Amino acid sequence: MTKIMFACKKNSCRSQMAEGFARKLGAGKFEITSAGIEASRVHPTAIEVMSEIGIDISNQTSKPISNFQASDYHAVISLCGCGVSLPKEWLLQEVFEDWQLDDPDGQPIETFRRIRDEIKERVSNLLGVRY
């Protein structure tokens, strides 16, 4: 089974939303994880905007990428331009992409919705499935 890591700075918003989409869209076909350069919390507004479209990420947790081994993953997707900050082994996996999406933290809910929709499109394309 293809294993995908979604990485971000704090594993709070963007990577959590990507994990939620990938789990829903790739159920049974992909093993999905998200992590951050540092762990924090799953942002309540990220939980809210995902629930608006029927995806519950309230049980997901924020995890540091240091808890995982890069060699266990086929694809590594950075959502925030943090690729430059990831340990080198994460950049050397079969697939590495750096999506460089805006950080919605501290922004109005409309920004969270815009970023959510961008992530939905990118995850759909990555997995080769439609939402």
List the domain boundaries for the chain: 2-127
Catalytic hit among 8, 46, 57, 79: 8
Q: What CATH number does the domain located at 2-127 have?
A: 3.40.50.2300
Tell me the pLDDT band of 99, cut-offs 50, 70 and 90. very high
Report the greatest alpha carbon distance in the chain. 37
Token representation of residue 24: 């829903």
User: Rounded to the nearest 10 degrees, what angle do helices 109-127 and 14-25 cross at?
Assistant: 40
- In this predicted structure, the answer to whether residue 130 has a pLDDT above a threshold of 90 is no
Average pLDDT over every residue of 89-100: 92
Return the pLDDT at 24.
95
Catalytic hit among 80, 115, 119, 126: 80
Q: Identify the sign of the CA torsion 111, 52, 126, 9.
A: positive
Query: Is residue 82 annotated as a catalytic residue, yes or no?
Result: no
Helices and strands per DSSP (H, E), number in the chain: 4, 4
Strands 75-78 and 2-8: parallel
Return the pLDDT at 131.
66
